[in-house]
């Protein structure tokens, strides 16, 4: 990963590259009701690598033999992305992860432990001192055995800031190459994440990249991730389509488009290949059998579909009037117009024109009114063929256009 190389070579900490850490195959696959075979995971991993993801979290190997096999398959196959696995701070697990990743081109161990009072007491049943000791011991043990050792604090946003700063500082001293802050229950606001990143950067004196892992329980995962980048986070966790535990994680495609659209504001670069995002999302939706909402940003059925007369009229003159990004930039095939209750005559004229047909102005107005009436009870006309059929069956005499002129 370029950023780490920059650090290791003593380069500037002000480098503006942000590494993308994708956890579709770990946090995403961990979501209730989602499970995929090792072969399917490999298909998704290849698509992630193809889209320029820097770090691919392949799974949590101690979960099951199938999970172990998934990670091995991915580790053996990928050659560009760094492959990482989630691991508890336990020596035997670290050894297992090392063995699983032995044939990977680039390896990363992702060690994690919870640091919030509620998690330490009710889940780990450990004192803060014990959490600290276990962490340091594990990082020391893992250091040098992987290309990168990442330490993540689970529930960082509900942790005591002094304790969190202390454990991050000690983690880096023990050999962590990246530290990461998880908003595990998705409670943070963008300004919280920005402050937290600033605090932890200062605690580790910018000696290693600080990353974030944001959940979407308040629909703020992408916003929190963007705020973290503004505050200097050099690695961000995402998932394709935003899947993950509960309301999911920050979505790769939304983050990518936000960074593209606001390039000047963020002044950061990533290795994401935007043109691969459409097919990557399709692959994940298909392979993980996800249900995508109608209005899901960028990938929902309506994300690039237009019906309203005023919108379609504007769009036909300049597609940027009602879209922040051309879907083709994301490798998503064309925008779509449909004809319904809110349609105007510009859209009807456009649809007729696509089939080489036209109508006199008063006829066009009449047809438009009929389409609107019809769609209220029968639903919209989805394409130009449906419009032509509708027009003919209602007795309209369509004139044929040649080179834009009526023949």
CB closest to Mn ion, residue no: 27
Tell me whether residue 44 or residue 325 sits nearer to Mn ion (CB atom).
44
Rounded to an integer, what distance in angstroms lies between the CA atom of residue 211 and that of residue 232?
Answer: 9
Q: Nearest distance from residue 1's CB to Mn ion, in Å? A: 21
What is Dmax (Cα atoms) for the chain? 86
CB of 231 to Mn ion, least distance (A): 20
Task: Give 26 or 234: the residue with its C-beta nearer to Mn ion.
Answer: 26
Nearer to Mn ion, 56 or 136 (CB): 56
Q: Considering only residues 7, 20, 27, 220, which one is a binding residue for Mn ion as defined by CB under 5 A?
A: 27
Give the number of other Cβ atoms within 10 Å of residue 405's Cβ: 9
Q: Which is nearer to Mn ion, 151 or 337 (CB)?
A: 151
Could you tell me the smallest distance in angstroms from the CB atom of residue 11 to Mn ion? 30
Q: Which of 292, 388, 297, 303 is nearest to 339 (CA)?
A: 388
93: CB partners within 8 A, 6+ apart = 62, 87
Q: Which is nearer to Mn ion, 30 or 328 (CB)?
A: 30
Instruction: Select the span of 1-9, 21-29, 91-99, 302-310 touching Mn ion (CB under 5 A).
Output: 21-29
Q: Which residues contact 305 (CB under 8 A, 6 or more apart)?
A: 335, 336, 337, 338
Residue ranges in 319-338 that form contacts with Mn ion under rule CB under 5 A = none
Query: Which of the ranges 24-32, 136-144, 195-203, 219-227 carries the binding residues for Mn ion, by CB under 5 A?
Result: 24-32
Q: Residue 27 or 82: which CB sits closer to Mn ion?
A: 27
Which residue, 185 or 316, has its beta carbon nearer to Mn ion? 185
Tokens at residue 7, please? 């650090």
Contacts of 334 (CB under 8 A, 6+ apart): 304, 327, 328
CB 357 within 8 A of CB 387: no
Q: Using the rule CB under 5 A, is 384 a contact of Mn ion?
A: no
Q: How far is the CB of 57 from Mn ion (least distance, A)?
A: 10
Nearer Cβ to Mn ion (27/307):
27
Q: Are strands 336-337 and 107-114 parallel, antiparallel or unpaired?
A: unpaired
Closest CB 211 distance from Mn ion, rounded Å: 12
Write the interaction track for Mn ion spanning residues 268-287; mark x where CB under 5 A is met and - where it is not.
Answer: --------------------
Among the residue ranges 26-34, 133-141, 259-267, 352-360, the one whose residues contact Mn ion (CB under 5 A) = 26-34
Closest of 145, 66, 137 to residue 104, by C-alpha = 145
Kindly list the distances between the CA atom of residue 217 and the CA atoms of 18, 25, 186, in Å, as whole numbers in the listed order. 24, 20, 5
Q: How far apart are CB 226 and Mn ion at their closest, in Å?
A: 18
Look at the block and give the residue holding tokens 């889940």.
123
- C-alpha angle with apex 284: 50 to 76, nearest 5 degrees? 50
- State how beta strands 235-238 and 305-306 pair: unpaired
Q: Which of the 8 DSSP states describes residue 16? A: -
DSSP structure class, residue 325: S
The nearest distance, CB 248 to Mn ion, in angstroms, is 9
DSSP-based three-state secondary structure for 297: coil
Name the segment binding Mn ion (CB under 5 A); options: 4-12, 27-35, 50-58, 203-211. 27-35
Residue 152 to residue 177: CA distance in whole angstroms: 11
Least distance in Å: CB of 27 to Mn ion? 4
Nearer to Mn ion, 27 or 72 (CB): 27
Q: Tell me which stretch binds Mn ion (CB under 5 A): 23-31, 108-116, 166-174, 320-328.
A: 23-31
Closer to Mn ion by CB, 27 or 49: give it.
Answer: 27
Return the number of the residue (3 or 182) whose C-beta is nearest Mn ion: 182
Q: Count the site residues for Mn ion by CB under 5 A.
A: 1
Pairing relationship of beta strands 405-406 and 399-402 according to DSSP bridges? antiparallel
Question: CA angle, 186 as apex, 221 and 58 as ends, to 5°?
Answer: 70
Rounded alpha-carbon distances, angstroms, from residue 308 to 13, 305, 318, 338, 340: 49, 10, 15, 9, 8
Can you point out the beta strands (E) in 281-384? 305-306, 336-337, 357-358
Q: How far is the CB of 250 from Mn ion (least distance, A)?
A: 10
> CB of residue 244 vs Mn ion: minimum separation in angstroms?
6
Binding site residues, Mn ion, CB under 5 A: 27
């Amino acid at each position: 990963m370029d950023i780490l190389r920059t650090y290791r070579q003593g380069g500037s900490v002000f480098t503006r590259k942000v590494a993308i850490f994708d956890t579709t195959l770990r946090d995403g696959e961990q979501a209730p009701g989602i499970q995929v075979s090792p072969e399917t995971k490999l298909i998704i991993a290849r698509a992630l690598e193809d889209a320029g993801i820097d770090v691919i979290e392949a799974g949590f190997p101690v979960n099951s033999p199938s999970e172990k096999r998934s990670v091995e398959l991915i580790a053996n196959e990928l050659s560009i992305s760094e492959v990482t696995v989630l691991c508890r701070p336990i020596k035997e697990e670290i050894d297992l992860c090392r063995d699983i990743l032995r044939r990977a081109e680039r390896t990363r161990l992702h060690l994690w432990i919870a640091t919030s009072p509620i998690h330490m007491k009710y889940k780990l049943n450990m004192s803060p001192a014990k959490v600290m000791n276990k962490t340091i011991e594990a990082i020391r043990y893992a250091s040098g055995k992987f290309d990168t050792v990442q330490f993540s604090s689970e529930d960082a946003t509900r942790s005591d800031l002094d304790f969190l700063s202390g454990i991050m500082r000690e983690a880096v001293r023990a050999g962590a190459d990246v530290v990461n802050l998880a908003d595990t229950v998705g409670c943070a606001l963008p300004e919280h994440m920005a402050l937290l990143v600033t605090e932890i950067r200062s605690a580790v004196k910018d000696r290693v990249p600080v990353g974030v892992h944001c959940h979407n329980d308040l629909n703020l995962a992408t916003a929190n991730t963007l705020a973290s980048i503004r505050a200097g986070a050099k690695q961000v966790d995402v998932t394709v389509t935003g899947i993950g535990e509960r309301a999911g994680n920050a979505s790769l495609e939304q983050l990518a488009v936000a960074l593209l659209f606001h390039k000047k504001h963020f002044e950061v670069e990533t290795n994401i290949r935007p043109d691969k995002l459409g097919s990557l999302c399709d692959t994940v939706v298909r392979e993980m059998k996800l249900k995508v909402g109608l209005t899901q940003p960028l990938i929902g059925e309506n994300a690039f579909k237009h019906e309203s007369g005023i919108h379609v009229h504007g769009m036909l003159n300049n597609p940027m009037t009602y879209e922040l990004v051309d879907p083709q930039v994301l490798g998503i095939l064309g925008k779509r117009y449909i004809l319904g209750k809110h349609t105007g005559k510009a859209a009807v004229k456009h649809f007729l024109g696509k089939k080489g047909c036209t109508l006199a102005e008063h006829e066009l107005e009449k047809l438009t009114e009929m389409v609107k009436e019809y769609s209220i009870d029968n639903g919209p006309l989805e394409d130009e063929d449906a419009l032509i059929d509708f027009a003919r069956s209602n007795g309209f005499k369509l004139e044929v256009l040649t080179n834009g002129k009526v023949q």
